[in-house]
Structure 1
Amino acid sequence: MKTDLQLKQDVEEELDWTPEVDSSSFVVEVQDSIVTLLGHPASYAEKLAAEKAVQRVSGVKATVVQAEVRLPPKDVMGDADIARAANSILQWTVGLKEGAVKVQVEKGWVTLRGDVELNWQRYRAARRITHMRGVTGVTNMIKVRGGLAPADVGEQISRALLRHAEREAKHIGIEVHDGVVTLSGTVGSHGEREAARGAAWSAPGVHAVVDHLVVESVPAL
């Protein structure tokens, strides 16, 4: 298993390697394999990219993000301008019905509300807003309405997990009730956890996923 010092070095190298991230904007602290990311990224998109970079590093058990977006003066915009731009972007986004998602902006922080049929629509709406200039954060409160989950939805998710991460599929429990999928068990990395969550969200009729998965580092040989 990696020491905290080794993890710190690996995380710092991964931040340096990530083109969307200015690694000089962040400070990395590690204790008991839990990584704390501090700093002042220049955009919300950069903050998310840094968080994902940390989660790609093997051996990281959990990530604490205490970074606050500090926009450069050229990117500071009024809330009304951000709201108008966000509404325009959502209107032109493929797969979203006009008016399905409502936008609220306060001090650059965007809150999305509404109802969509499938999770990928919810994800796409948030992703488009995340990469807007002037946005300091995004809260995604869009609900997935969906239809009734088929009786074999648990089996469908299991097959998807086998396609995406065969080793982890054997250690993941799946429970489905009224369109809510609960995942339990252990995985070896944050990437594997995301694959499991993605497989669950992709199943028809799923409108919520409860993630009880635990990331357990694989001991070094």
Structure 2
Amino acid sequence: MKSDTQLKQDVLDELAFDSALDASRIRVEVANGVVTLAGSAPSLAQTHAAERVAGRASGVRSVLARTRVEVPATDPPGDEAIADMARAVLHWTAGVPQRAVEVEAVKGHLFLRGAVEWEWQRELAIRSLLRLRGVTGITSRVAAHRRMAPRKISERIGRALLHYAEDEATRIHVEISDGVVTLKGTVASEAERAVARGAAWAQPGVSAVIDELVLA
């Protein structure tokens, strides 16, 4: 098992090697395999990218993202322009029901309100807005009338694991609570760990994945 010091260096290397990511102002701390990202990034999309990149380092159990968005001062868009862009993106995003989500922008922070049928539609609305210029954060108060039951999500993850890595699926235990999936058990390689993580993240209704898998 890697030490926190080695894991921190591995995460820093992952952040530095990703050419699409500006991690120059992101700080990394590690405790018991849990990575905390702090500091700032130039866009909301970059903060999410940093979380994803940090999570792929071997040995990372989970990632806590506490980075803030600092929009470059050069001609920043106003709140009404940001809200208009967000409305247009939602309008043209397949899967988000028309006129189901209302948008308000306050100092670059988007507030979403409304109601959709499924949780995955709510999440899709959020993801579609992450890359908008000038957005500093997103708070969703969109209600989902129908949610996939935790048991159903667990079954879907199990089937996905069987499809990609049949032997490993029998050694991985899936727990889910409030959209947070915890993976426990053993895997034979980092590639199999990546498959398990990917299968968990791919399921509708999953908002976070905690990796407690052990290399056997």
TM-score, normalised to structure 1, is 0.76
Q: 1:31: which partner in 2?
A: 31
Q: Secondary structure at the match of 2:74?
A: helix
1:88 maps to amino acid? A
What's the C-alpha RMSD, in Å, of the aligned pairs? 3.4
User: Does the CA-based 8 Å contact 2:62-2:210 persist in structure 1?
Assistant: no
Per-residue deviation, residues 202-221 of structure 1 (Å, max 9, x unmatched): xxxxxx5697x7522535x8
Alignment of 1:58-73 (within 5 A): 58-73=58-73
Q: Matched residues in 2 for 1:210 and 1:16: separation?
A: 26
1:198 aligns with 2:194: no
Conserved? CA contact 1:55–1:191, under 8 Å: no
Q: Measured at CA, do residues 57 and 175 of structure 1 come closer, stay the same or move farther in structure 2, by a change above 3 Å?
A: closer
Q: Quote how far apart the aligned CAs of 1:71 are.
A: 0.8
2-side partners of 1:154 and 1:31: how far apart? Answer: 28
Sequence identity percentage: 37
Question: Which residue matches 1:16?
Answer: 16
Q: Take 2:113 and 2:164, find their aligned partners in 1: how far apart are those partners?
A: 31
Query: In structure 1, what is the Cα distance between the partners aligned to 2:55 and 2:79?
Result: 31
For 2:59 and 2:89, the matched residues in 1 are separated by 38
Q: 1:163 to 1:112 in 2, by over 3 A?
A: farther
Partner of 1:142: 142
**C-alpha deviation, 1:32, in angstroms:** 2.5
Q: 1:55 to 1:154 in 2, by over 3 A?
A: closer
The alignment status of 1:126 with 2:109, answered yes or no, reads: no
State the shift of 1:79 in Å: 1.4
Per-residue displacement from partner, 1:9-32 (whole Å, max 9, x unpaired)?
Answer: 110111112233112121222232
Which residue does the alignment assign to 1:205?
none
Partner of 1:204: none
Number of aligned residues: 208
The one-letter code of the counterpart of 1:106 is: V
Cα deviations across residues 58-92 of structure 1 (Å, max 9, x unaligned)?
Answer: 21123232321111012522212111111111112
Cα distance per residue 1:84-112 (max 9 Å; x no partner): 11111111222222211111222111122
Question: Following the alignment from structure 2 to structure 1, what is the Cα–Cα distance between the partners of residues 195 and 25?
Answer: 24
TM-score by length of 2: 0.78
Task: Using the TM superposition, name which of 42-51 and 134-143 deviates more.
Answer: 134-143
Q: Distance in 2 between matches of 1:63 and 1:175?
A: 17
Deviation at 1:153, TM superposition (A): 7.8
Provide, for residues 103-139 of structure 1, a one-character-per-residue CA deviation record: whole Å limited to 9, x for no partner.
1222111122222233443232212211000000112
Q: 2:184 maps to what in 1?
A: 186
Shift of 1:33: 2.0
Write the distance in 2 (CA, Å) between the matches of 1:175 and 1:7. 26
1:146 Cα offset (Å)? 3.7
Following superposition, the deviation at residue 7 of structure 1 comes to 0.8
Q: Which residue of 1 aligns with 2:81?
A: 81
Task: Please list every run of 5 or more consecutive structure 1 residues that lacks an aligned counterpart in the other structure.
Answer: 202-207
Q: Are 2:216 and 1:215 aligned?
A: no
Q: Is the 8 A contact 1:15 1:54 kept in 2?
A: yes
Are residue 93 (structure 1) and residue 89 (structure 2) matched? Answer: no
Distance 1:138 1:192, change over 3 A: farther
The structure showing larger relative contact order (alpha-carbon pairs under 8 Å, at least 6 residues apart) is 1
